Amino acid sequence: MEWSFRAAEELSAAFRAGEVTSVELTEEAIARIERDDKAINAICVRDFDNARTAARAADEARARGEDGPLLGIPVTVKESYNMAGLPTTWGMPQFKDYVPAEDAVQVARIKAAGAVILGKTNVPLMLQDLQSYNEIYGTTSNPWDHDRTPGGSSGGSAAALASGFGALSIASDIAGSLRTPAHFCGVYAHKPTLGLVAIRGMVPPPAPAFPTDHDLAVVGPMARTARDLTLLLDVMAGPDPLTRGVAYDLALPPARHDQLGDFRVLVLDEHPLIPTSSAVRAGVNRVAGALVDAGAKVERHTPLLPDPTEAATLYVQLLGANLASNFPAERYEQLRAHAAGLNADEQGLASMWLRGMVFSHRDWTQANNRREQHRHGWRQLFAEFDAVVSPITATPAFPHDHEKGVGERKIDIDGVEYPFLDQFAWAGLATMPGLPATAIPTGLSPEGLPVGVQLIGPMFEDRTPLRLAELLEQKIGGFQAPQ
């Protein structure tokens, strides 16, 4: 029996029942990687010897009657997480030999839950692209079309899942880095509420792994089913034991509803700053149709939605400030000079991004205050709705494009070119206010490419979009393996 595309939940049940051993699951996954990953290049750091050791230990633990939520399950880890004894580079050539001495808190958690880690998955340079390529490990391709990107920055993890290289992966998201690869590769991902999941050890080299708070950035689960997202989130969630974990325990509220027909959902398929491709709009409409058929309350417009144009502007400003905070002084001064030369009437997202990169503390505080106004608006919206359905990006996976920087590229939307950065508006819808968002597949485009949507929920009510994802998976189907 082939296990490579089975859900982690199924693998766990079979493992507990003695139908399969962890060694068998691990050897099958390794064989598939060795056979198929030459074309995909998803697993950039292989750790097969340690995986085999962990699999044998899992089988011995089961024989002793021990258990764990991920016991014996083969998984992968995004390259940006520290793993003791393995390189962490974030794609930066100068750190190709950097090897941390301590596991990231999430790596430690999945190990404690019994997971068998096959290796690390590829990323773009500094995690700053919707593609996954770098000088050290090369280019990761989309399993559905090798001429296209799997997305970024968690593209290696999404491509690995779509290819059957492990049942789960842990990754991260600040600009759609969980959701976009899931959308491009036809898998599931969950961007948790900001602060729900400890992030220590997901840090660029050679920075120390301090338990600091991160603005916008989260770490979260990727899987091939919605239920597996919840399984992995339950392992990952909770405060850092070095800080808030000293005083607080995790107590996520249950999903607001258990039946599809009971949900109240706002459906969005248009953004004032960027068009939506026909393929993505069809995916959104398929979800909307399934909700209507189930008897859910579905609306397309509401005055309660915080202004999406201002939201996108705040998002790129805060994102720019976040990313530029660790730039070398020389580069930062170049950015300041460039920003000072902008005309006042240059108000596009690329210009706002640049201005955000050189924010003063006063500028950032004012932007953060406006963010709090948006969060208040979302609280009011979620008093009337349970979730929001929207695109993740404007298009399905696009062809590899390594010629220009992110700020200089264009994105083709139904034959018309638009600024590449403008598509971040959809990712920022949930990221800027810190809301949870679950990416789900909705089917294939006419060209045979996966299309997904995001289900955005109320802060710290992550189980609501996750449950909605499960119900929609039952209604419209879910993951399909590339042919």
Which of the residues are catalytic? 78, 153, 177
| Residue 74, strand partner residues | 116
Say which amino acid occupies 71: L
| Residue 139, strand partner residues | 133
- Measured between alpha carbons, how far is 70 from 227 in angstroms, rounded to an integer? 13
Give, in order, the Cα–Cα distances in Å from 97 to each of 46, 203, 387, 436: 15, 16, 44, 35
What order do you get walking across the sheet with 387-390 strand by strand? 43-46, 116-121, 74-78, 168-173, 218-223, 188-191, 437-444, 450-456, 387-390, 264-267, 297-299
DSSP 227-259: HHHHHHHHHHBB--TTTGGGT----PPPPS-SS
Give, in order, the Cα–Cα distances in Å from 331 to each of 126, 181, 328, 337, 403: 15, 29, 5, 10, 21
Give, in order, the Cα–Cα distances in Å from 433 to each of 66, 112, 130, 372, 375: 41, 32, 21, 8, 6
